[in-house]
Each structure stands twice: as C-alpha cells, then as structure tokens.
Amino acid sequence: MELRQKTELRRYLVPELRQSLNILALPLLEIKNLIEKELEDNPFLEESPPPQKNTEAPLPPPDSQDRPNLDFRLNLLTKKVTLQDVLLRQLSMFTNADEDFKIGQEIIGNIDENGYLKATLTEIATALNVSTDKAENVLKLIQQFEPAGVGARTVSECLLIQLELNNDQDPLMRKIIECHMEDVAKKNYSLIAKALKEPIENIEPRIKKVLKLDPKPGRNYSPDETQRIIPDITIDEKDDKLEITINNEDIPNLNINETYRQMLKKNGLDSQAKEFLTQKLHNALELLRAISKRQTTLRNIVEVVAQIQQEAITEDFSHLKPLTFNEVAQKINMHESTVCRAVMNKYVKTPYGVVALKDFFSSHLLDQNGESVSSAHIKRLIKELIEQEDKKHPLSDEEIAQHLTKEKNLKISRRTVTKYREELKILSTIFRRAR
C-alpha cells in the first residue's frame, strides 16, 4: 500500500457570494417580496421615501391617447411560466460549481412537460463530455427540487422520490410502488396482497396513499398556466437609438438606519446584543450590495444583447442573430454561468411587447458557406413554407429540409425541421392535409 498526497483546488461560495447569486437569479416580484421580508426582520434596514415627482401637470384623462399604451402594458403582465423556468431558477440557487450548472441545464432541457427525464444519463454525459456518475449526482440534486417527483425516469421512481421527500419510510409502500404499479392501476388489490403475503386490510390503506401521489408532477406548470410578471428591463427606441431602463419602480428605496448604527458604537453594550446588531448590520449591507450588483449586471448584459439584437428589437423578432451566454460573458468579462443566472426569469418590455430575456439568446445552424444562421430565422422560413404549401398535398418535414438545403443554402436535417415545427406548434403533414 502506498500513501500519496493530492493537492486539489476546490471552489466554495462564501455566504455573501451565494446571496448575491441568488438575488441575481430572482425576478422583480420576488426581489420585492424578499426586501419586504428583510424590512420586517432587520432593524438596520429602513425604507426611504421615493423621489418627489412633479405633480403640477394634470394627469391625462383615462380616454387619452396614452390609454392604449397603458392597456397594452397591463395586458402583457401575464406570461406562460414553463417547468424549465422553475427548475432553472432552483438550479441557480443550489448549484455552486459551473460544471454542475451546465450538466443541470442539459438535464432540465431534457425534462418533458410531465416532469420526466427523457434522455439517458449516458446521452447527457456523452454530450457534455463528463462522467455518468457526475451526471447522476446532478440529477439527484434536481430530483430534490419542486415540484416533488420531477426528474424521474419512470412512474415508480417519481412516486418513490415523493415518498422520500415526505420522509415516508414505510417498506410496504415502497414494495407496492416498485413492483405492483400495474396491479394498482388495474385495482388487483388481492393479487398485491397475495404477492406481498400481507392481509388485504394492510394493503388497501397504503394503496390509497399511493393514489394520492402525483404521477405527473410537471403538469401543474402546463402552458395553460399563467403567472403575473413585471418586466425587469425596458428597451425604448428614440432617435434611432435604443434606451435601456432597469425597472426599479417596484423595489423599495433602502437605507441603513442611523439610530441602530449609533447604538452599535456605544460603549458598554451587552456582548450578546452587540453580536446580534453586528450580524444584522452585516446582512443589511450585503443585501444592499447584492441588489446594486444585480442592477449593474443586468444593465451590462442587456446593453450587449441590445447592441447585437438591435434589428430584432426594432423590426421583427425573427431577425434574431445567433447569440450564446458565453459570447455575452466574454464581452462583459463575466462567467458564463453568472450570465445565465442573470438572464433566467427576467422579462424585457420592447417596442413590440414583453418577451423573456432568454429568448434573445438564439441557437444557430451553419449554412453551406459556414456562416451562422439563427434558429429564429430558420423557424420563420419553415413557417412561411408551410403557410404557402398546397393544403391538399402538404410538405413533409423531409421535403422542407430538402427545400431549405437547396433553395436557402442551409445545412438542416429532417429531425431538426421536426423539432422546430413542433416548437412552432404546427401540426404534422397528416393533420395539415385538407380533406
């Protein structure tokens, strides 16, 4: 046996940095809720009055020309929240290592609308060039997220995860879920009792518990569910230039309470009280720094995005250019995972409507000349082809791929066309055919 020393560099997040990253990931409404809670809990924090606004000019009447703009904004304060959005926000809060965050993104991207992982760990590990053990560790982390049971690969695994999260250690319940779910569905309770060598009186109440578990944890985040949102950023076009505003209207103005600060400086203060006040002051200052850093980081990111995607912002969203988190990160000298955290769950009010900030990051394909073409542009071409097709003889995905390759000089497979068509919520050939 030989003993060896191994020097290993590991990165641990200090609590202040962890809080800063968490606040960076939160959308505006949750920031507001967090601040309101801190105002109640921390005596060092106080809300200062907002800046005085000029009230001399009369307010416009409800039927003025500004009214449609107000209605437009109010009508856009709802947005479909996907299961992926919910999971990515939790991932950004509970993942420290950048590699784990990338693996988590890949796993979440392969979770379907019911909450099940549809790719194998081998496929995910191969795509990211990591070990399957590493991918499995991140999957186990995601399986602790809400909604309970998410990230499972089978119904049995989904229900077992829910049992564990409920701290239910009943071995008989586990056996029913692991081996007899088909009989549960068929209500063959006597067969289950016989197989487990248990009286049916012991089986039936446990089956009732099993039936109360959710076999489709992701369905509560279906596309039909909406959530009220307020845009974190506003982009306006003025004099052929884009003006960027970070929305602070709903965030209270915070100050450090001077009375408590002076109290901390007094001599003869009880050691326990001094320790308490010192910690509260530290927490208050870190919160103020984290909020300020969030504003700065968001502005830096959006300025780069607006510069690159100006045509899409001012003309048509289908003119999106290929853009990755890494490209923006390099331009603002920031890590890619930080940019991803900042972008998730944020919304932008543009001249044509409210969109998710992440929607400005468009994947791409290469044309025959090796030039990048955004997926948004390709989707627009697919949509136009289908709109112009002969409805009695609609185009197949293979025919669309061949057309784009021949006429538009694009390298695209039938599988990619199918993926984009489904993302556009366009039916397949057989359902588009006119009878």
What CA–CA distance (Å, rounded) separates 28 from 45? 19
The letter for the amino acid at 247 is: N
Q: Which residues contact 413 (CB under 8 A, 6 or more apart)?
A: 401
Backbone angles phi, psi at 353, to 5 degrees: 145, 180
List the domains of the chain with CATH numbers.
15-47+229-359 (no CATH), 83-222 (1.10.10.1330), 364-432 (1.10.10.60)
For residue 147, count other CB atoms closer than 10 A to its CB. Answer: 17
CB 231 within 8 A of CB 349: yes
Residue 252 carries which DSSP code? P
pLDDT at position 81 is 65
CB 314 within 8 A of CB 320: no
C-alpha gyration radius of the chain: 27
Q: In a structure prediction context, what are the per-residue pLDDT tens digits for the chain, which is 435 residues long?
A: 444 444 443 333 445 566 677 788 888 878 888 888 888 889 999 987 765 554 444 434 434 344 334 333 433 444 456 788 888 878 877 777 778 888 998 899 889 888 999 888 988 888 888 999 999 999 999 999 888 899 999 999 999 999 988 888 889 989 999 999 888 888 888 898 999 999 999 888 888 888 888 898 988 775 554 556 678 899 998 888 899 998 876 678 888 888 888 888 888 788 888 888 899 999 899 999 988 899 999 999 999 999 988 888 887 666 777 788 888 999 999 888 888 888 888 888 888 778 888 888 866 555 555 555 667 778 888 988 999 998 888 999 999 989 988 888 877 888 888 888 887 878 888 778 876
Backbone angles phi, psi at 26, to 5 degrees: -80, 140
What CA–CA distance (Å, rounded) separates 46 from 26? 21
Backbone angles phi, psi at 187, to 5 degrees: 60, 35
CB 84 within 8 A of CB 108: yes
DSSP string, 369-420: TS-EEEHHHHHHHHHHHHHHS-TTSPPPHHHHHHHHHHHS-B---HHHHHHH
**Going along 289-393, which residue ranges are E strands?**
347-350, 353-356, 364-366, 372-374
pLDDT at position 138 is 94
3-class DSSP assignment, residue 117: strand
3-class DSSP assignment, residue 149: coil
pLDDT at position 265 is 83
For residue 132, give Cα distances in angstroms to 128, 129, 136, 139, 387.
10, 9, 6, 10, 44
